[in-house]
Amino acid sequence: MSKIDRKIRKKKKRLIFLIILLLSATFFILYTKTSFFHISSIEIIGNEKITDEKLILASGIIIDENIFKINLKMVEENVLLHPYIKSVKIKRRLPNKMLINVDERKEVVIINDFGTYMYLDEEGIILNILSEIKDEHIIEIYGLDIQNPRIGDKLSTKDESIQNKIFDFINSSKDLGLINSFERVILDEEKSISIFLHDEGEVAFGTLDDIKYKLNFLISILEELEEKNQGYRKIHLDKGSNAIIIKDND
């Protein structure tokens, strides 16, 4: 390598060092002496149930706080303490904005426990406990033996196998588009269920076995009755392999 090349390389290194030094000094001044990196706004994405104000309060982020002082992991942990939050991602938007992106849990079922109404998501997480129903369009479940319910915890019952089958029934009904037709489900002492629909019809579903088969069978029955414009009072799926339909005029 020639002397000229060495001199050029040395000058480049000095220039790079000076640029880095200048940028570091500029950053230091902006960080410590100005409000350039102070948070001016917080953007919330993905929330429907929880207000922006409640999420910001839960996060612990404060407007005008230095953006680099925010512990992202701690903020995420704070937000996840809210029972309606399934997952969250916190990001900085330099120089002065924060982004909170959440995935909310959805209420899919109400467990009626002697006049106490527990709102649960599809995983069985208790989202809320109320003394009265606030949403009449969510299916109600009666007859489960609940143990020590607490908001944010997973539902616990004395019979875990029946609990699992109930949620298999709920989620299968949701997947098949039936759940919005169901008003309430009553579990009896023999572990059989009766379904009451919004159209005032009743389905004696029987035990919680072959759930998807029986739900698909119910769909075909309801579609056939609708095509024939026939009303019904009760459909029995608990009397063997064939359905028994009691019509309005029977």
Token pair 């606030």 in the structure block, residue: 134
Q: What is the CATH number of domain 41-104?
A: 3.10.20.310
Model pLDDT, residue 248: 73
Same fold, 41-104 and 109-247: no
**In the predicted structure, residue 231 carries a pLDDT above the cut 90:** no
pLDDT in tens, 79-96: 999 999 999 999 999 889
Average pLDDT, the chain: 88
Model pLDDT, residue 116: 93
Q: What is the CATH number of domain 109-247?
A: 3.40.50.11690
Which of the 8 DSSP states describes residue 176?
T
Where are the domains positioned within the chain? 1-34, 41-104, 109-247
Would the pTM of this model clear 0.85, i.e. be above it? Answer: no
pLDDT confidence bin for 147, thresholds 50/70/90: very high
SS3 content of the chain, % helix, strand, coil (to 5): 35, 30, 35
Cα distances (angstroms) measured from residue 58 to each of 53, 54, 62, 78, 80: 9, 6, 11, 6, 9
> What mean pLDDT do residues 218-237 have?
92
Query: What are the strands of the beta sheet with 232-236, ordered from one edge?
Result: 126-130, 116-120, 109-113, 139-142, 182-187, 192-197, 202-207, 232-236, 244-247
pLDDT in tens, 131-145: 988 877 899 999 999
Model pLDDT, residue 137: 84
pLDDT in tens, 17-68: 666 766 665 566 555 666 778 899 999 999 999 999 999 999 999 999 989 8
Nearest to 144 by CA among 171, 174, 110: 110
